[in-house]
Amino acid sequence: MRSKGLTTMRILKALAVAATVTLGGLTSPALAAGEAPPPPDTRFSFDGFFGTFDRGSLQRGFQVYKEVCSACHAMRQLSYRNLLDIGLTEEQVRALAAQFTVTDGPNDEGNMFERPARLSDRFRRPFANEQAARAANNGAYPPDLSVMVKARPNGADYLYALLTGYKDPPAGFQMQDGMNYNEWFPGHQIAMPNVLNDGQVDFADGTQATVSQMARDVTTFLAWAAEPELETRRQMGVKILIFLAILGGLVYATKRKVWADVKH
C-alpha cells in the first residue's frame, strides 16, 4: 500500500492534469471547447458503496495497457511492485519488470548505467521527455494515465465511452488535419487515433478481446491505478458504520437502564 504522501501527490497531480491535458494529448482550448454528450453509465464492478475491483479484469486491463497504451502513455505514479495488488505473483512481476531497462547510477566510476528494472522501480515511460513525445505524435502530448480517471467528470464512464466512440464524422462536419472523430470527446476532434481493434490482444484467460471488452478492462485498470486504496477505504467505512450502530445501541440501552426508575 502506498503512503499517504503519495496519495496526496496523486490528487494534486490529478488536478493539474485536469486543468492542462486530455486523454488524446489535445491541449488547445479552441479544440477542447466544444460540447459532448454525457457518457452513458457503463456499470463497472467497482461502482457503488460495496463495489470491488474484478481481479481478472484488472489483469486483462494491465495487459491492454502494456501491449497497446504504453507505446505512448506513461504511468509514472505506479511502481512494478504495485502489480502485486491486482493478483499477479511476485515471480510474474519480477519477470515482467526485468523486460525493461532503467537508468541507474552513478556507479563507482561516476557513470550512469542501464540495468533491468526491479519491483521498486516506477513504470518506464515511453519517451525520454515531453519534446520527444510531441515529436513522435505530430505535436500532441500523450498525457500520463496514472490518475486520468480522476481528471475527468464521470472518469471511468467517460474513458470507456471515449475508447469505443470512434466513428466516421457526420456529413458536413469539418475535420482538421491529423484529427480523428470521436462522439464523446469535447469538440469531437481528438489527436489520438483509434487504438483498439477486435482480437488485438490475446488474453491469457481466454476472454474474447472485443473492443468493448478491452475498453472495459483497461478502464478498470486505470480506475484502480488512480485509487488503489478504494477497496480498503470502503471496507473501513463498513466497519465504522457497524461500530457506530453497535455503539448507538449500547448508548440507548444504557440510557434506558439509567432512567428506568425515573417517573416521567
Of the candidates 254, 248, 235, 38, the one whose C-alpha atom is nearest the C-alpha of residue 153 is: 38
- 127: amino acid identity, one letter: F
Strand ranges inside the chain, DSSP E:
101-104, 113-116, 180-181, 189-190
State the CB neighbour count (10 A cutoff) for residue 90. Answer: 11
Give the count of alpha carbons within 13 A of 218, CB side only. Answer: 30
| CATH number assigned to the domain covering 4-78+130-228 | 1.10.760.10
Q: What is the pLDDT of residue 258?
A: 84
Q: Is the pTM of this model over 0.95?
A: no
Could you read off the pLDDT of 159-178 as tens digits, one per residue? 999 999 999 999 999 999 88
Could you read off the pLDDT of 193-214 as tens digits, one per residue? 999 999 999 998 999 999 999 9
Max mean pLDDT range (35-39, 79-83, 98-102, 258-262): 79-83
Could you read off the pLDDT of 40-77 as tens digits, one per residue? 999 999 998 889 999 999 999 999 999 999 999 999 99
Each domain of the chain, given as residue ranges in start order, spans 4-78+130-228, 82-121, 229-264
Could you read off the pLDDT of 6-48 as tens digits, one per residue? 444 454 444 444 433 344 444 333 334 456 788 999 999 999 8
Contact 55, 88 (CB under 8 A): no
Cell readout for 33 is: 471547447
Dihedral sign (CA 204, 205, 209, 213): negative
